[in-house]
Structure 1
Amino acid sequence: MDRTLALEFVRVTEAAALKSGRLCGRGAKDAADQLAVDGMRQTFDTVPISGTVVIGEGEIDEAPMLYIGERVGAGGEEVDIAVDPIEGTNLIAKGQNGAIAVLAIAPKGGLLHAPDMYMEKLCVGPRAKGVIDLNLSMTENLRRVAAKMERAIDDLTVVMLDRERHQGLMDECRAAGARIRLITDGDVNPAMECGLEGSGIHMVVGTGGAPEGVLAAAALKCTGGDMQARLKPATDEEIRRCHEMGITDLNKVLTIDDLVSGEDVIFSATAITEGNVLSSIKYFPGGARTHSVVMRYQTGTVRFVDTIHRLDKKLSMKVK
Structure 2
Amino acid sequence: MKRDLAMSFSRVTEGAALAGYKWLGRGDKNAADGAAVEVMRSLLNKTEISGEIVIGEGEIDDAPMLYIGESVGVGGDAVDIAVDPIEGTRMTAMGQSNALAVLAAGEKGSFLKAPDMYMEKLVVGPGAKGVIDLELPLTENLENIAKALGKTLDTLVVTTLAKPRHDQIIADMQAMGVRVFAVPDGDVAASILTCMPDSEVDVMYCIGGAPEGVVSAAVIRALDGDMHGRLLPRHEVKGDTEENRKHGELELERCAEMGVTAGIVLKMEDMARSDNVVFSATGITKGDLLEGITRQGNIATTETLLIRGRCRTIRRIKSIHYLERKDPEVVGHIL
* TM-score, length basis structure 2: 0.91
| SS class of match (1:219) | helix
Partner residue in 1 for 2:297:
285
Partner residue in 1 for 2:267:
255
Partner residue in 2 for 1:117:
117
Provide the C-alpha distance between the structure 1 equivalents of 2:229 and 2:179, rounded to a whole number of angstroms: 22
Gaps of 5+ in 1: none
Partner residue in 2 for 1:45:
45
User: CA offsets per residue over residues 202-232 of structure 1, 9 Å max, x none?
Assistant: 1110211111100111111111111001111
Tell me which amino acid in the other structure corresponds to 2:192. Answer: M
| Aligned residue pair count | 318
| SS class of match (2:160) | strand
Partner residue in 1 for 2:314:
302
Partner residue in 1 for 2:254:
241
Moved more, 62-71 or 93-102: 62-71
2:223 equivalent to 1:223: yes
C-alpha distance 89-316 of structure 1, shift in aligned 2 (>3 A):
closer
C-alpha distance 186-310 of structure 1, shift in aligned 2 (>3 A):
same
2:27 equivalent to 1:27: yes
Provide the C-alpha distance between the structure 1 equivalents of 2:81 and 2:302, rounded to a whole number of angstroms: 22
User: CA offsets per residue over residues 69-117 of structure 1, 9 Å max, x none?
Assistant: 1111111011111111001100001100111000110111110012111
| SS class of match (2:104) | strand
| SS class of match (2:170) | helix
Gaps of 5+ in 2: 235-247
Partner residue in 1 for 2:61:
61
Is the contact made by 1:138 and 1:172 (CA closer than 8 Å) also made in structure 2?
Answer: no
1:291 CA drift (Å): 0.5
Partner residue in 2 for 1:107:
107
RMSD (Å) for aligned C-alpha atoms:
1.7
Partner residue in 1 for 2:139:
139
| SS class of match (1:230) | strand
Partner residue in 2 for 1:71:
71
Provide the C-alpha distance between the structure 1 equivalents of 2:329 and 2:258, rounded to a whole number of angstroms: 46
Provide the C-alpha distance between the structure 1 equivalents of 2:196 and 2:35, rounded to a whole number of angstroms: 29
Is the contact made by 1:158 and 1:179 (CA closer than 8 Å) also made in structure 2?
Answer: yes
1:244 CA drift (Å): 2.6
1:316 CA drift (Å): 8.9
1:315 CA drift (Å): 6.4
Is the contact made by 1:99 and 1:272 (CA closer than 8 Å) also made in structure 2?
Answer: yes
1:305 CA drift (Å): 0.8
Is the contact made by 2:15 and 2:36 (CA closer than 8 Å) also made in structure 1?
Answer: yes
Tell me which amino acid in the other structure corresponds to 1:302. Answer: I
C-alpha distance 318-147 of structure 1, shift in aligned 2 (>3 A):
closer
Partner residue in 2 for 1:264:
276
- Give percent identity, aligned residues only: 48
Moved more, 155-164 or 220-229: 155-164
Moved more, 109-118 or 231-240: 231-240
C-alpha distance 240-61 of structure 1, shift in aligned 2 (>3 A):
closer
Partner residue in 1 for 2:285:
273
